[in-house]
Amino acid sequence: MDAQIVALVSFDLDDLEAAIAELDARYLAGEASPHATTWSAVTDSFAALNRREHPSTTHNWVNVDHRQGTSFAPGEMTAYIRAAWNLEQEVKIYVEAVHGLSDGAAFLTSVTKGVSREGFGAEWRSVHVLAFEGRMTSRCELFEEADIVTALARFEQLSRPVPRLENAASRMYERLQAHYAAHDWAAISEMLSEDHYSDDRRALVGNGIQHGRDTVIENLRTVVDVGVTQATSHTVATRGGRLALTLARYSRSDEEPPAFHVDYLQLIELGADERITALVAFDLDRLDDAYEELDARYLAGEAEPYARVWQIGMETLGELNRHQPGPRIAELMFTDYRHIGFRSGDFGRAVEELWELVPEARYRMTEVYALDAHASVFKVVIEGTDVHGNELQWPRVSLLSVGREWTRLEIYEEEDVDAALARFEDLRPEARRLENAASRMVEQFLSDFAVRDWDAMAELLADDVSSDDRRRTVNAGIRRGRDVEMDNWRATAEVWTTDVGSTVLATRGERLVLFRFTFASQEALPESFQAVALAVVEVNTNHRATAIVVFELDDFESAFAELDARYLAGEAAAYANAWSVITNAIAAHNRREVAATTPDAVSFDHRRVASFAPGQGVDYLRAGWDLDQTLNLYIETAHRLNNLGAVFTWAGYGASHEGFQAEWRGVNLMTVDGEMVDRSEVFDEADLDAALAQFDQLSRRAPRPENAASHAYDRFRTYFAARDWAAMAELLTPDTSVDDHRRVVNAEIRRGRDVEIANMQAFADIGAKTSTATVLATRGERLVLCRSCISSEDHQQSGGFRIEMLIVVETRADERILARVAYDPDDVDAALAELDARYLAGEAAVHARTWSVIAGSYAALNRREPPLTKPDCVYGDHRRETAFGPGDLTAYFGAGWTSDQDINVYVEQVHRLESRGAVITYAAHETREGFDAEWRGVAVLTVDGDLIDRCEVFDDADARAALARFEELSRSARLDNAASRVCERYLAHYAARDWDAVAEILAQDFCSDDRRRVVSAGFRHGRDAQVANMQAFAALAIARVTAISIATRGERLVLQRVSFSDPDQTADPFLAERLGVGEINAAGRIAAFVSFDPDALDTAIAELDARYLAGEAAAYARTWSVFARAATNRHEALPTTPDCVTIDHRLRATLDAEGLTAYVHASWELTPDLRVYVESVHRLSALGAVVTHASRGTSHDDFDAEWRQITLLTVEGDLGNHCEIFDEADLDTALARFEELSADASGQGN
Question: What confidence tens digit (pLDDT) does each residue in 736-782 have?
Answer: 999 989 887 666 788 999 999 998 888 888 887 777 788 899 999 99
> Residues 942-985: pLDDT tens digits?
988 888 988 889 888 788 888 888 887 776 666 788 998 899 88
Give the per-residue pLDDT at 900: 54
| H-helix or E-strand spanning residue 513 | strand 512-520
3-state SS class at 856: helix
Q: Give the pLDDT band (50/70/90) at residue 1062.
A: low
CA distance 375 to 397: 13
> Positive or negative, the Cα torsion across 582, 583, 589, 592?
negative
C-alpha torsion 148→150→153→155, nearest 10: -60
Give the per-residue pLDDT at 1154: 54
- Burial class of 334 by CB neighbour count within 10 A (0 to 12, 13 to 18, 19+): buried
Nearest Cα to Cα of residue 322 among 351, 295, 347, 280? 351
> Of 738 and 326, which is predicted with more confidence?
738
Give the per-residue pLDDT at 929: 52
Per-residue pLDDT at 353 exceeds 80 = no
State how far Cα 985 lies from the chain centre. 34
The secondary structure of residue 853, as a DSSP letter, is: H
Give the per-residue pLDDT at 1229: 92
Give the per-residue pLDDT at 527: 38
Please say whether the beta carbons of 42 and 23 come within 8 A.
no
Mean pLDDT, the chain, whole residue set: 82
* Strands in 591-660 per DSSP E: 597-605, 630-641, 645-655
Which residues does residue 932 pair with via DSSP β-bridges, in sequence order? 927
The secondary structure of residue 1114, as a DSSP letter, is: G
Contacts of 646 (CB under 8 A, 6+ apart): 575, 578, 579, 582, 638, 639, 640, 669, 670, 695
Residue type, 519: F
Give the per-residue pLDDT at 529: 44
Give the per-residue pLDDT at 465: 92
> Residues 165-218: pLDDT tens digits?
899 999 999 999 999 989 999 999 999 998 899 999 998 887 888 998 888 898
pTM of the model: 0.45
Please say whether the beta carbons of 529 and 521 come within 8 A.
yes
CA distance 1056 to 717: 54
DSSP states of 380-433: EEEEEE-TTS-EEEEEEEEEEEE-SS-EEEEEE-TT-HHHHHHHHHHHPPPSPP
Per-residue pLDDT at 290 exceeds 80 = yes
Mean pLDDT over residues 1081-1108, rounded? Answer: 92
* Strands in 745-816 per DSSP E: 748-751, 768-779, 783-792, 802-811
Per-residue pLDDT at 608 exceeds 80 = no
Which residues does residue 469 pair with via DSSP β-bridges, in sequence order? 477, 550
Per-residue pLDDT at 282 exceeds 90 = yes
The secondary structure of residue 1134, as a DSSP letter, is: P
Give the per-residue pLDDT at 14: 84
Percent of the chain with pLDDT over 70: 83
Q: Spell 738-754 as b/e; 16+ CB within 10 A means b.
A: bbbbeeeeeeeeeeebe
Mean pLDDT over residues 870-880, rounded? Answer: 79
Which residues does residue 822 pair with via DSSP β-bridges, in sequence order? 740, 807
Please say whether the beta carbons of 1183 and 1102 come within 8 A.
no
Bin 474: left if φ > 0, else alpha if -120 < ψ < 50, else beta.
alpha
Q: How far is CA 753 from CA 400, 723, 725, 819, in A?
A: 69, 16, 11, 11
Contacts of 1147 (CB under 8 A, 6+ apart): 1223
β-pairing verdict for 243-251 and 261-270: antiparallel
CA distance 709 to 713: 6
> Residues 878-933: pLDDT tens digits?
876 655 444 445 544 544 445 555 678 889 999 999 888 999 999 887 665 544 56
Mean pLDDT over residues 770-799, rounded? Answer: 80
Q: Which domains does the chain have, with CATH numbers?
A: 16-159 (3.10.450.50), 168-283 (3.10.450.50), 304-427 (3.10.450.50), 439-568 (3.10.450.50), 573-700 (3.10.450.50), 708-841 (3.10.450.50), 844-974 (3.10.450.50), 975-1110 (3.10.450.50), 1113-1245 (3.10.450.50)
Q: Give the pLDDT band (50/70/90) at residue 656.
A: very low
> Residues 446-504: pLDDT tens digits?
888 888 899 998 999 999 999 998 888 766 678 899 999 898 888 877 766 556 778 89
Q: How far is CA 923 from CA 702, 880, 907, 910, in A?
A: 12, 17, 6, 12
- Burial class of 1225 by CB neighbour count within 10 A (0 to 12, 13 to 18, 19+): exposed
Other Cβ atoms within 10 Å of 381 Cβ, number: 17
Helix axes 688-700, 307-322, angle to 10 degrees: 80
> Residues 592-601: pLDDT tens digits?
787 788 777 7
Other Cβ atoms within 10 Å of 1073 Cβ, number: 14
Per-residue pLDDT at 340 exceeds 80 = no
- Residue 68 sits at φ, ψ, to 5 deg, of -65, 140
DSSP states of 235-292: EEEEETTTEEEEEEEEE-S--STT--EEEEEEEEEE-TTSSEEEEEEE-GGGHHHHHH
- Residue 719 sits at φ, ψ, to 5 deg, of -65, -35
> Of 1173 and 1017, which is predicted with more confidence?
1173
Residue 717 CB-half CA count within 13 A: 21
Give the per-residue pLDDT at 539: 93
Give the per-residue pLDDT at 1191: 82
- Burial class of 431 by CB neighbour count within 10 A (0 to 12, 13 to 18, 19+): exposed
CA distance 148 to 293: 43
Q: Give the pLDDT band (50/70/90) at residue 1157.
A: low
- Cis before 257 (ω within 30): no
Give the per-residue pLDDT at 628: 47
CA distance 752 to 763: 17
DSSP states of 133-162: ETTEEEEEEEE-GGGHHHHHHHHHHHHS--
Per-residue pLDDT at 726 exceeds 90 = yes
What is the widest separation between alpha-carbon atoms in the chain?
Answer: 134
> Residues 1198-1226: pLDDT tens digits?
656 677 889 999 998 888 889 899 988 78
Mean pLDDT over residues 705-724, rounded? Answer: 91
Give the per-residue pLDDT at 1197: 59
CA distance 309 to 399: 11
> Residues 1020-1047: pLDDT tens digits?
899 998 898 888 877 765 656 778 888 9
> Residues 815-841: pLDDT tens digits?
999 999 999 988 988 999 999 999 999
Residue type, 396: R
CA distance 688 to 350: 37
3-state SS class at 1052: coil
Nearest Cα to Cα of residue 916 among 939, 940, 952, 886? 940
DSSP states of 275-286: SEEEEEEE-GGG
Give the per-residue pLDDT at 653: 67
Please say whether the beta carbons of 534 and 559 come within 8 A.
yes
Nearest Cα to Cα of residue 1129 among 1179, 1189, 1062? 1189
State how far Cα 610 lies from the chain centre. 27
Per-residue pLDDT at 52 exceeds 50 = yes
Please say whether the beta carbons of 1152 and 1146 come within 8 A.
no
Q: Of 13-27, 225-239, 691-705, which range is least confident?
A: 691-705
Give the per-residue pLDDT at 666: 82
Give the per-residue pLDDT at 524: 43
Give the per-residue pLDDT at 528: 39
Please say whether the beta carbons of 683 and 305 come within 8 A.
no
Q: Give the pLDDT band (50/70/90) at residue 629.
A: low
Which residues does residue 29 pair with via DSSP β-bridges, in sequence order? none
Please say whether the beta carbons of 439 and 513 come within 8 A.
yes
> Of 142 and 498, which is predicted with more confidence?
142
> Residues 993-1005: pLDDT tens digits?
889 999 999 999 9
Give the per-residue pLDDT at 777: 93
State how far Cα 1048 lies from the chain centre. 38
Per-residue pLDDT at 526 exceeds 50 = no
Select the highest-mean-pLDDT range: 24-33, 69-78, 673-682, 1025-1034. Answer: 24-33
